[in-house]
A and B are shown apart, each in its own frame.
Chain A
């Protein structure tokens, strides 16, 4: 596929749990925790992909790994080049093409900088705008995210959560990126503000042909915004496909229970008797053998307890990694 912008293959993010100084001297390897464990994901140009999963499933780690904000192994191809093996200079070029919007809007802004200063700094560092044109560009950026020019003189502390998030979005847009990763950008906001910010994302994505990875634990939000959805469980993508398909015809038992657990007004027809999910996901530091989901899966079989699930493959319009769907169904 030529219109592929981001191609993630076998991506893993491992954190070493802290070890003592004595162990360090003995060169004893620390215990590892795989936050992302061999994830595959493909994002096409201009497409908004939602990444959903419970907290601790590795969504944020995956997002950070895509921007090289956290060490990772595997392959992240962005427009053909492997991001994880870039040198400093091409990494800087990559940062102009891919940006991030963070979860906590206030914490993602330096409290000392006025909004205008923060935006101007990005323009200066990347030498995107001539000095005398910077104030105009800052005003234009604020306008894009629906903020008045007077906000340039305000500090983050004087802004509401929604306004802070708009600034965060403006800052990401300052480099005119093609790809934006939004890491739970609305989960810290009030419900009414959430809708405004989501609509802002929708508008930006359409107007600027942005490619987006939208990370959220809220299926409804993702369904509203994204054309495709990937579901993550304990570091792996367990199901991936068109948003409607995931939403109305989930294949993987985990996705099914996620959809079932969604609070909503109307139920899709004939899908009321799906099992609810019990308990907490296991710790990523101590994963069960076989399929990581098997202790909670309502359809658990012998194979699930012993063998890891098959790698993600096509089932109908979507793709999933589950023993329930044997090889023969491969389309």
Chain B
């Protein structure tokens, strides 16, 4: 009894029971994603140097035993900066998905559940939003709010909700016709109970799978914007900022630009592996 009370294993067991053994891709993806979380959480213990401490005696030194990935133009250790950069980049990836996810599923659930004028209004708003290219709209909003990480979150939330809203709305439209939803009404359950407790958990799966893919997009977006000077500001260790900082020295010190770039690619790859595995496991087509 005491063992089965543990929350996580029980939840996992339930998923197993319902969906069968997850494909190996899920484990590989999950391990890769977990790796980045470990790096982010234990950054102070893993990183050999202070990420913003300058050491002008060792500027632009190539990879060596003392500095495995070299140092930048201020003598800061590139490895340590990448490790600490994981914190901000993961945070951007997760919060940059969480806010649009929450806004999107809420609006999508209301639109799909109530239909009618609520649905029409929300869908027109959605059409207007997707009429603009994603990047351009994000950059435009950041330009209005001023550069910085919080502007980044706000603009991603304002633009990114549309995908989630559409996914959840479509599922809700299907579920609305199900007998068990009709039964909820016949039993006198309120709108919120029916929508949030009975329909949303069944409507949310495609949105959850997409959110993993979205993490990749948002991490790339966050580092791109930081590269352009619209996201994280120097001297904050952030991968996009590091790439931008290093490009002036690219011919003399390629490692300053190269290794953060590799980190971006690997982090993105981890999440997309996990997303693909989840999609396969949960039977969602994108």
Kindly identify which residue among B178, B188, B198 contacts A95, using a CB–CB cutoff of 8 Å. B188
Question: Is A102 a contact partner of B182 (Cβ separation < 8 A)?
Answer: yes
Kindly identify which residue among A24, A95, A102, A157 contacts B179, using a CB–CB cutoff of 8 Å. A102
A1 at the interface (CB under 8 A from B): no
Binding-face segment, A109-117, A190-198, A286-294: A109-117
Chain B contact residue count (CB 8 A cutoff): 16
Contact with A along B18-30 (1 / 0, CB 8 A): 1000000000000
Give residues 289-317 of A contacting B (CB, 8 Å): none
Question: Is B179 a contact partner of A125 (Cβ separation < 8 A)?
Answer: no
- Chain B interface mostly helix, strand, loop or mixed? helix
Residues of B near any A CB (own CB < 8 A)? 18, 120, 178-180, 182-183, 185-189, 193, 198, 201-202
User: Could you list 12 examples of A-B contacts with CB < 8 Å?
Assistant: A69-B185, A92-B188, A100-B183, A102-B183, A108-B183, A110-B198, A110-B202, A112-B201, A122-B187, A171-B187, A175-B187, A175-B188
A67 at the interface (CB under 8 A from B): yes
Question: Is B188 a contact partner of A107 (Cβ separation < 8 A)?
Answer: no
* Complex Cα spacing A209 to B180, Å: 26
Residues of A within 8 A of B193 (CB): 125
A103 at the interface (CB under 8 A from B): yes
Residues of A within 8 A of B185 (CB): 69
Question: Is B180 a contact partner of A69 (Cβ separation < 8 A)?
Answer: no
Residues of B within 8 A of A112 (CB): 201-202
Which single residue of chain A is at the shortest CB-CB distance from B175? Answer: A110
Question: Is A96 a contact partner of B180 (Cβ separation < 8 A)?
Answer: no
* Complex Cα spacing A100 to B202, Å: 23
Which single residue of chain B is at the shortest CB-CB distance from A99? Answer: B186
* Complex Cα spacing A95 to B179, Å: 17
Residues of B within 8 A of A224 (CB): none
A271 at the interface (CB under 8 A from B): no
* Complex Cα spacing A302 to B196, Å: 57
Which single residue of chain B is at the shortest CB-CB distance from A109? Answer: B180
* Complex Cα spacing A201 to B183, Å: 19
Question: Is A96 a contact partner of B198 (Cβ separation < 8 A)?
Answer: no
A245 at the interface (CB under 8 A from B): no
Kindly identify which residue among B179, B180, B187 contacts A99, using a CB–CB cutoff of 8 Å. B187
Given contacts A102-B179, A107-B178, A109-B180, contact A125 B187 (CB under 8 A): yes
* Complex Cα spacing A228 to B194, Å: 35
A126 at the interface (CB under 8 A from B): yes
Write the nearest CB–CB distance from A49 to chain B, whole angstroms: 19
Question: Is A100 a contact partner of B180 (Cβ separation < 8 A)?
Answer: no
Question: Is B180 a contact partner of A110 (Cβ separation < 8 A)?
Answer: yes
* Complex Cα spacing A91 to B188, Å: 8
Give residues 136-174 of A contacting B (CB, 8 Å): 155, 157, 168, 171
